[in-house]
Amino acid sequence: MDLNPSADDVAFRDEVRSFVREKLPADISEAMLRQKKLSREQTVRWHKILYARGWGAPSWPVEYGGTGWTATQRLVFDDECAMAGAPRLIPFGHNMVAPVIMKFGNQWQKERFLPKILAMDEWWCQGYSEPGSGSDLASLKMTAVRGHDDQGDHYVVNGQKTWNTLGHFADWIFCLVRTSREAKQQEGISFLLIDMKSPGVTVRPIINMHDVHHVNEIFFDNVRVPAENLVGEENHGWTYAKYLLGHERSGFAQIGFHRRDLQRTKDIAKREMLNGKPLYDDPRFKAKIAQLEIKLQALEIMGLKLIWDQEQGALPGPEASIVKIFSTDLVQAIGELAMEAAGPYAQPYQPEAQYLDYAGEFAGPAYAAGLAATHFDNHKYTIFAGSNEIQRNIISKMILGL
């Protein structure tokens, strides 16, 4: 794997940069750069712009509508989009359920679901965690009982999923369900695709500490699901779940977004003053920046190697867990340093303490708006896709044999 950009890579960067500069809507980039949450419409609109250009699924094989880009080109694309303030592609359809359908789904499922995921005509969400079944996912209790009537084979699903991200926007949800209590925990789980408009599905919001509706709990009360929505074989869902989690953890590298946030931190430090000089000129602060830049470079190399391995046909392994730990720790470190740079204006995260009632404007400098809320929110990434503690257990077992 060659880490040096080729002439083609440089030309490709220019192409992506020009495209993003011309096509990225201003309202979307402004919201992203001001660290605001995007609406469903904004997210879908940007994805459809990419889809129209043929860039809707950079990580997919060409046969399913992917770009055929190299690992370096995918990194360049992420970089340019992030620095310009473009949102990342919603991962639940493109990077999670789609690879599972490609690998384990039947032909009907591929033809039915993949084109709509590619075009962002259907928004997907994830149904894994349950109350009491998070990191210990194999203990999940949501049941799916198979039956048959005059309308055909089906499952009746009952139970609850929690910490569901953006399920209030979703058209479909992929769920791990328990189809057997006779086998041991991992062997009694199946992978089911469920229409969110089905009778008996209820979405209830979970409002986070900075008053944002981002996650949900979802209840399933006698929800009827056609048996054709079962992916692969019944009671083999744990195998598909691990495959999906490997792809999810691979997607946590987010190198472009780290680079953008680190640049934002530098820009803040150049505006803030310390003893009559810009904070950025302080040797101690510069040393902290340098440490984060070194870690970001190491993450970039690991992320490229992970993508390159997968392009050669390797399945996501413990290396994905390493990238996930490294990346989620780095996002918190960058956020913490940005708050340090912004000083007291970065501290309050209650909206009523941040904004002037009479004007609706941020009480401090614009670059400090949203720093604290985003930093606190970013702590969730060390739990997503299996907590970092669980990832360390995976690494110790699969690499060190402990």
Q: Around Cβ 136, how many Cβ atoms within 10 Å?
A: 11
Calculate the alpha carbon distances from 331 to 64, 255, 287, 295, 300 in Å: 32, 10, 18, 11, 13
Dihedral sign of CA atoms 49, 53, 57, 59 in order = negative
Active site residue 248: yes
Is 58 within 8 Å of 74 (Cβ atoms)? Answer: yes
Is 13 within 8 Å of 77 (Cβ atoms)? Answer: no
Calculate the alpha carbon distances from 39 to 10, 54, 345, 384 in Å: 33, 23, 26, 22
Is 177 within 8 Å of 158 (Cβ atoms)? Answer: no
Question: Which tokens hold the place of 347?
Answer: 């501290």
Report how far residue 288's alpha carbon sits from residue 276's, in angstroms, rounded to the nearest whole number.
Answer: 20
Report how far residue 221's alpha carbon sits from residue 213's, in angstroms, rounded to the nearest whole number.
Answer: 23
Question: Which tokens hold the place of 307?
Answer: 């993508």
Q: Select which of 80, 217, 234, 248 is catalytic.
A: 248
Calculate the alpha carbon distances from 304 to 72, 76, 138, 323 in Å: 7, 11, 31, 10
Amino acid at 76: V
- Active site members: 248
